[in-house]
Amino acid sequence: MTLNRQSIHGEWSSRWAFVLAATGAAVGLGNIWKFPYIAGENGGGAFVIIYLICILVIGIPLMMAEIMLGRRGRQNPAATMASVAEESGASRHWGLVGGLGILAGFLILSYYSVIAGWALNYVFKAAAGDFTNASAQQIGALFSNLVASPWQLLFWHSIIMLTTMLVVARGVRQGLEKTIVFMFPIMLILLVILVAYSMSSGYFEQGLAFLFHPKFAQLSPEGTLDALGHAFFTLSLATGSIMMYGAYLPKNASITRASVAIAAADTGIALIAGLAIFPIVFANGLQPGAGPGLIFQTLPIAFGHMPMGRMFATFFFMMLVFAAFTSTLSLLEPSVAWCIERFHMSRVRATVIISSLIWLLGIGTVLSFNVWKNVHLFGMDVFDFMDYLTANIMLPLGGLLIVIFTAWFMRQEAKLDELQIKKGFIYYKWRLTMRYVAPVAILIVFLKFLGIF
C-alpha cells in the first residue's frame, strides 16, 4: 500500500538537496575533530578497522531504515515511529524510541555547539596570524587560555546557537536547504585544497601507517565501544537527524543509493581528515593521543611554520566551522519539529524555545573546561559525560531498537514500498543484516564492554 502523508514542514526541493543535507549532517566535527582524536587515543589502525566494519554492517543498513521510516511517517521521529508502528499493527510505544533519538540530538547539540565555538574562535586566531612562528608552548597556551575562560567559550557557543537558531527558524527550504547548498560545496573545496597541502608535507606515509596498520593488542573493549558509538555519531544515526531529514525526502528518490553515497562521503572525509592531520602530527613530533584538543593544539603549530600557513590555517578552521554548522542544523531540527507538532506552535517560537534550552545546557560543557573542571559525574567531567552518555550509550541503544523495530515489527509491504526495491538480492541482504547481523554485532560490543562476553 502506498501512503501519501505530507510533512507539515515541507520537503527538500530535490533528492540532491536531500543527499547534500544528509551528507552535511553526517560530515562535521565528528569527522575532523573527533575521529582523529579517538583514533589517536585508541592506537589507530585496529580502531579504524572496527569503525569501518561498523559503518558497513550497521551504519548503512540503519541509515536506509531511518530514511525509510522518516519518509513513511513524515513527522518528527517520535510521531513517525509511533505511526509506522501503528500502521504495522505494533504498539505506538515505539514512538519512545524516536523520542530517545530526539533527546540524544538535543543533548549532543549542547556540547557540539561549544566545540564548534572553538573552531569559530580559531578562524579569527588564524586570520590574525596568531600561529605564525609560534612554538608548541605558545600554541598550547592559546588553547588553554581559550578553554580556561568561561566567558569566551560562552560567547562563541552563543554565536553558534544563535546562527543555528536563525537558520532553523526559517524552515526546511528557506533555512536549512539554502544554507546547506551554499556551505557544503565551499567546505568540500577547502578540504580538497588542504589535503593537497598536507600530502606535500612529506609525512604522508606515517599517517597512512598509523591509520591503517592494525595493532589489535592496543584495542580495548572500551575502544571497540568507542568505534561503534562513533559510527553512529558520525553518520548522525539514532539522533533523529537522519529520520527527520528522511521525512522531507521527495517520494521518488532511491533510499539505497542515497544511503550508500552519504556513508561513503562521510567515511571518505573522515579518512581524508585523518590523512591530512596525522602527517602533520608526526612531522612535528606531536602526540596522536592528545584528546579533544588534538587538532587545536597540534595543527596550528604546523600551520605556523609552513609557507602560506596563515591562509591555510584560516581555510582549515573555516572549513571546520562550515562542516559543523551543517550538522548543528540537523541536530536542532528534530526537537524543533517535535515541539511544533506536539504543541501546535509556530516554528519561530519552537526554535527560540528549544535553542534557548540547548544553549543553557551547553553552559555545563562550557564550565567543564574551567570552573567545573573538578566536578565529576561517574568519574567524567560534564563534557566527557555528555559525550559518553550520548555517543556510547544512547546512540547504540537507540540504533539497536530502531533495527529491531524495522526488522521484526514493520510490515514488509511498507518497507518494500518505501525502499522501492523488488524482493531481490539487495532486499534480502538488507533484511538479513537488519534481522541478525546488526543487532548481534551491537549486542556483542555492549556485552563485551560490560565484561559479560
In terms of CB distance, is 38 or 414 closer to ligand PHE?
Answer: 38
Minimum CB separation of residue 348 from ligand PHE in Å reads 22
CB count within 10 Å of CB 421 equals 17
Quote the cell numbers at residue 120.
569559530
For 380, phi and psi rounded to 5 degrees?
-125, 155
Q: Are 359 and 158 in contact (CB under 8 A)?
A: yes
Beta bridge partners of 377: 380
In terms of CB distance, is 30 or 117 closer to ligand PHE?
Answer: 30
In terms of CB distance, is 26 or 191 closer to ligand PHE?
Answer: 26
Minimum CB separation of residue 165 from ligand PHE in Å reads 16
Q: CA 195 to CA 54: how far, in whole Å?
A: 25
172 CB-near residues (< 8 Å, 6+ apart): 7, 9, 10, 11, 12, 248
Closest by Cα among 267, 229, 185 to 20: 185
Minimum CB separation of residue 262 from ligand PHE in Å reads 10
Minimum CB separation of residue 32 from ligand PHE in Å reads 8
Q: Are 20 and 261 in contact (CB under 8 A)?
A: no
In terms of CB distance, is 94 or 106 closer to ligand PHE?
Answer: 106
In terms of CB distance, is 157 or 415 closer to ligand PHE?
Answer: 157
Q: Are 12 and 18 in contact (CB under 8 A)?
A: yes
Minimum CB separation of residue 259 from ligand PHE in Å reads 14
- For 193, 384, 419, the CA distances from 257, given in Å and listed in that order, are 28, 35, 10
In terms of CB distance, is 32 or 414 closer to ligand PHE?
Answer: 32
Three-class SS of 287-321: CCCCHHHHHHHHHHHHHHCCCCHHHHHHHHHHHHH
Minimum CB separation of residue 230 from ligand PHE in Å reads 9
* Binding footprint of ligand PHE on the chain (CB under 6 A): 25-26, 28-31, 105, 108, 233-234, 236, 239, 241, 327, 330-331
Q: Which residue is nearest to ligand PHE (CB)?
A: 30
